[in-house]
Each structure stands twice: as structure tokens, then as C-alpha cells.
Amino acid sequence: MGLRLGDVAPNFKVETTMGEIEFHKWKKDLWAILFSHPEDFTPVCTTELGAVARLKPEWEARHVKVVGLSCNDLKSHGAWIDDIQNTQGCSVNFPIIADADRKVATLYDMLDYQDASNVDRRGMPLTVRSVFIIDTMNRIRLIMTYPAVTGRNFAEILRCVDSLQLGDRRRVATPEGWKGIEDEVIIHNGVSDEEAGKLFPGYKKVLPYLRLAKVED
């Protein structure tokens, strides 16, 4: 059975472009995003890593550490980083796991068994574009899986972090299209109307199960 929301994210010790890390110790009591790429020197991946690097101030503001993964060795990663930095206008400021043996990819069920063409020169399957958002207690809070051909929108991943963290702090959920703290949120159904009046003065009761409020955070 694969990993599910609420599971403890498996720990691992690996070599990365920023030295050896043991995942749980490396992330400590912060949030983390672990995301995989099919292979080094591929065009979509190059744009994605540039996007993640440029978002460094946003990750730091949310106390999030990011780590990438690709099914190649450190030497390959180093040469690829040069390409990323030369074309994307940024430095790669986060570690990339060297997972040539597919140790972490297997642990997190990231391998692409659907596309027979998505293999390396040895015929070993590459990874899909997986995303795991992991909270301070090492619990998996969100899993996204994209096919190899579809690049991710990291602004959306950042929005998901905001939603998860706000929900933890304020007992709310975020509706469709929620963009940030300036938008209304949905009061959690576990909050009574009486308690909602105290926690969210002036909230709107659209339906018995749909109550909207503005929050300041």
C-alpha cells in the first residue's frame, strides 16, 4: 500500500548537492516539500528548479525547507545545476538528492511504471513529478502526482502550504479559488455557531454547513 495523507513521511539518509542529509533531522521541526524530477538535463525540470529557487524568500517566510530529487548521481547534478543557473537567472539554493539507485523514489512510490518510454539508459524507470508537503510533526499533509510531461505550478504549491498552515492555526478550510489571507475562508464544521461568533465576529452563515469569515493572520 502506498503512502497516504496523515502517514509519517519515511526517513532516509542520502547524498545531496549540499552534503549528506538525514531527512527528519535535516527538516527538524519545520515544514518540508520533497519533490521529484524524472531526470537531469531535461527541459521541464530545468524550469521547475529555477522556479523553486526564485521562491526562496516565500519558503523561508513560511518556515518551509525544500528538497528536490532526480534519478542521477552527484556529478550529473552538479553539471545540471550550471545549466539551471545560467538559464533561469538564479542560484540553486536547496539540495537535490542523488537517487540513482531509486532508494528514495521507491520509498515514496515516485517511480513511473505507466510510461514505458520514461526510463534511463539502463532501462530503469524514472520518477514522475511527485510533490509531498510534510508538516512539523513529519506527517504527510498533501500528495500531488504529475506525469513526466506536465510541469508543476509552484505558486499553487505555495498556496496549498498557506491553506494548510492557516487551517492548523485558525480551524478553517479554504474554498475553491482561495488566493490568500485577503479572501474569505470557511469555518470548520467542528466549530459551533456560538463558538464561531466568538472566534469570527461578523461571520456569514450561507447554509447551516457553509459559514464564511474573514481572518487576520
Domain ranges of the chain: 13-151, 171-213
196 φψ region: left (φ > 0), alpha (ψ -120 to 50), beta (else): alpha
- Contact call for residues 13 and 22 (beta carbons, < 8 A): yes
Residues 6+ apart with CB under 8 A from 52: 35, 66, 68, 94, 154
Catalytic residue ranges: 45
Nearest to 163 by CA among 139, 184, 137, 146: 184
Q: Which three cell numbers stand for residue 18?
A: 549540499
Q: What is the pLDDT of residues 135-168, one digit of tens each?
A: 999 999 999 998 888 999 999 999 999 999 999 9
For residues 73 and 97, give the distance between their C-alpha atoms in angstroms, rounded to a whole number: 8
Q: What is the pLDDT of residues 12-36, one digit of tens each?
A: 999 999 999 999 999 999 999 999 9
> What amino acid is encoded at 60 in this protein?
E
Q: Check: CATH 3.40.30.10 for 13-151?
A: yes
Nearest to 37 by CA among 77, 1, 93: 77
Q: Please tell me which residue, 2 or 94, carries the higher pLDDT value.
A: 94
Q: What is the pLDDT of residues 52-87, one digit of tens each?
A: 999 999 999 999 999 999 989 999 999 999 999 999
For the domain spanning 171-213, the CATH number is 3.30.1020.10
Phi/psi at 98 (nearest 5 deg)?
-90, 105
Q: pTM for the full model?
A: 0.92
